[in-house]
Amino acid sequence: MSTYRKIHGRSIQAVTTDPTESVAEGQVWYNTTSDTFKSVVSLEAFSSSASMGTGRYNFAGWAGSAPADTATCFGGMTAAPAISNLTEEFNGSGWAAGGNTNTSRRQGAGFGIQTAAVKTAGYDGSSPSNDNTSEEYNGTSWTTGNNVNPQRQGHAGAGTLTAGVIFGGSDGTLINKTEEYDGTNFSNVNTMNTARTNLSGAGSQTTSIAFGGATPPVSNATEVYDGTNWTTAGNMNTARNAMGSFGDSNSAVGTGGTTGSNSTATETWDGTSWTTSPATLATARAFYGDTGSGSSTAGIVAGGYSTATIGNTEEYNKSANVITAAAWASGENLNTGRNGAGGCGPQTAAMAYGGQQNPGTATKGETEQYDGTSWTEVNDLNTVRYTGGPSIQGTQTATIYFGGARQSPDVAGYNNTETWNGSSWSEVANLNEAREEIGGAGTSTSAVGFAGNPSTATTTAATEEWDGSSWTSVNAMPGADRAYAGSGSQTAALAWGGKGSPKASTYEYDGTNWTAGGDLITARCRQGCAGTQTAALGYGGDTPSTYPTATEGYDGTAWSTRPSMAAGRQRLTAGSGSQTAALGSGGYSTTTSSVTATEEFTGETTALNVKTLTQS
């Protein structure tokens, strides 16, 4: 009789707590605390991710790597008949703007990786006609390459910049022609067995798979390519076109698409046959790129057309891990609604102090502390005010608040500074320049304050550093403005947004000089802010027409999208939490004056899919 040890080469381990690190699928252990046998089980599932900056369908193509931690989409349609030249890049957490393509196209094909991609052909709405151009992307900009032959749209692609392949599509009639790319030229090679358009494809130049599409009507045909010939393989269970796809001829995934109505269904390919997957899309969609990004165990789909153009992103994973998507969730309300409050601390040990009750009315001095569950009132500020500079890296036992303004009676700009010792506020040395809507970063003993309004009609670019006892004027920002969000430390600070226009500008401070960073995707001011110079989070805020719910993350170079807040508001409590565990409390909304609502942001998490073994 075989034993577990004979089969697996090791005996069953006894542990008091379940492992949290990577464990092989099917490994069994005995938990002495719960008196149960347990194992890790693989599962297939989609989880939501940050939306694209601009929702589109009929993308000109995808280019990505496996797993789906980087991807690029380009072209497509925002709404008929508008055709786009936008490029967006996915970094595993969200989408950032890339370089625009030279030509606006829809229903082309792409292949490659984020820093070495190829866009081929498509439909030119300005002519209008099918197109035969190609472009290459280096991760920053697009360069015109050699033409494909024939011109086509609705085709699929696979491979790399130096070894790619495109197949199928329509040049006015359905075509089965295949072309290989060597990094310079396209060459016609052996044709597919079934001519079709809006088909899906994935893989490399020598291990490609093509499936689905419109013949018309919709097709369930599958073919695999070995670098020389196409071979007909097992049909899909459900005929459809305009799907998302990832993998190769040995192991692939096809998802969504349309059968006449948009689908959420997913099928997996094992090299021989298709199997209906338990993983279904949350949003039925079609026309979201001819080739997907990732492998047969980790892929991404985004955008497309549902009942309208969408930008939603979903990530597919087949592993022994449960992926919980990043999201905002409701937290406990503040005791006192206010906007423009200062703040500090991590998500589960945060502070909010000062603020304004309602626009044009009472200014507040209340201080509250958050323990991750509820807010508790503690001692008030000595000088009531709002829109002062927060201490992003301060704590519940040591923080600082400087500058600000008040109403009733009006004070346009304070120079007051107060420090908190865990139980009370103390007045300390004043700023050199009084101002409101001042940005800030750092701690109670090493802070930096920047920009702001010295008076109602003026703004400043002045920067000052705090050493625990006094303020010193240092190099100014590149331009005068107010209402920047801030994060980081005195020697590695970040400022973004700004009221003028409002701005999309970002500036990085190294303790001596300010330099320009990557622009925000959505220009806005008066945002909630959290994190560091190289891992910041900005959320909510104020544009000329709306209070957006949009959230963006900064990686030290560029901003990318994150899941949105539930409610749009400006002047949230500044400076609470990190990029993966932030707090958005208070603020001013379009429906009420100052709000008490709190939202908590949690980044994506991964945990082993541990199951208890039973006899049933």
Beta-carbon contacts of residue 112 (< 8 Å; ≥ 6 apart): 63, 118, 137, 159, 160, 161, 164
Instruction: For residue 64, name the pLDDT band (cuts at 50, 70, 90).
Output: low
> Alpha-carbon distance 602 to 551, whole Å?
12
Instruction: For residue 293, name the pLDDT band (cuts at 50, 70, 90).
Output: low
**Does the bond joining 19 to the residue before it have cis omega, within 30 degrees of 0?**
no
Q: What pLDDT, on the 0 to 100 scale, is given for residue 61? A: 65
Instruction: For residue 358, name the pLDDT band (cuts at 50, 70, 90).
Output: confident
Q: What pLDDT, on the 0 to 100 scale, is given for residue 357? A: 83
Beta-carbon contacts of residue 3 (< 8 Å; ≥ 6 apart): none
> Alpha-carbon distance 71 to 294, whole Å?
8
Place of tokens 């601390």: 345
Q: What pLDDT, on the 0 to 100 scale, is given for residue 291? A: 46
Helix count and strand count (H, E) for the chain: 1, 54
Q: What angle do CA 486, 489, 490 make, to 5 degrees?
A: 100
Dihedral of the alpha carbons of 218, 222, 228, 229, in degrees to the nearest 10: -90
- Yes or no: say if 280 and 190 are a contact pair by the CB < 8 Å rule: no
Place of tokens 């201080």: 367
Q: What pLDDT, on the 0 to 100 scale, is given for residue 568? A: 93
Closest C-alpha among 530, 504, 533 to residue 583: 530
**Buried-state track 273-309, b at ≥16 Cβ within 10 A, e below 16:** ebeebebbbebbbbbbbbbbbbbbbbbbbbbbbbeeb
Tokens of 277: 């997957």
- Yes or no: say if 358 and 594 are a contact pair by the CB < 8 Å rule: yes
Strands (E), 85-243: 87-90, 95-97, 109-113, 116-124, 129-137, 142-144, 156-160, 163-167, 178-181, 186-189, 200-202, 208-211, 222-225, 230-233
Sheet architecture: strand order including 350-353: 342-344, 350-353, 367-370, 375-378
SS (H, E, C) 533-555: CCCEEEECCECCCCCCCCEEEEC
- Comparing 547 with 21, the larger pLDDT belongs to 547
Q: What pLDDT, on the 0 to 100 scale, is given for residue 542? A: 93
Counting residues of the chain whose pLDDT is more than 90, the rounded percentage is: 76
- Yes or no: say if 496 and 484 are a contact pair by the CB < 8 Å rule: yes
pLDDT exceeds 90 at position 609 = no
For range 289-315, the mean pLDDT: 83
256: left (phi over 0), alpha (psi -120 to 50) or beta: left
| Three-state secondary-structure class, residue 4 | helix
| Domains of the chain, first to last | 4-36 (no CATH), 45-325 (2.120.10.80), 341-602 (2.120.10.80)
Instruction: For residue 126, name the pLDDT band (cuts at 50, 70, 90).
Output: confident
**What are the tens digits of pLDDT across the range 488-500?**
999 999 999 999 8
Dihedral of the alpha carbons of 428, 429, 434, 435, in degrees to the nearest 10: -50
Bridge partners, residue 613, by sequence: none
- Yes or no: say if 229 and 239 are a contact pair by the CB < 8 Å rule: no
Counting residues of the chain whose pLDDT is more than 70, the rounded percentage is: 95
For range 439-444, the mean pLDDT: 97
- Yes or no: say if 540 and 584 are a contact pair by the CB < 8 Å rule: yes
Instruction: For residue 171, name the pLDDT band (cuts at 50, 70, 90).
Output: very high
Q: What pLDDT, on the 0 to 100 scale, is given for residue 294? A: 62
Q: What is the pTM of this model?
A: 0.90
> Alpha-carbon distance 87 to 98, whole Å?
5
Tokens of 516: 């320009």
For range 158-166, the mean pLDDT: 94
Q: What angle do CA 579, 585, 590 make, to 5 degrees?
A: 115
**What are the tens digits of pLDDT across the range 46-56?**
999 999 999 99
Q: What pLDDT, on the 0 to 100 scale, is given for residue 367? A: 97
> Tell me, what DSSP letter sits at residue 588?
B
Bridge partners, residue 359, by sequence: none
Strands (E), 320-390: 321-324, 327-330, 342-344, 350-353, 367-370, 375-378
> Alpha-carbon distance 8 to 566, whole Å?
49
For range 254-268, the mean pLDDT: 96
Instruction: For residue 21, name the pLDDT band (cuts at 50, 70, 90).
Output: confident
**What are the tens digits of pLDDT across the range 361-394?**
678 899 999 999 999 999 999 999 999 998 889 9
Place of tokens 């018309």: 216
Closest C-alpha among 202, 203, 197 to residue 219: 197
- Yes or no: say if 517 and 508 are a contact pair by the CB < 8 Å rule: yes
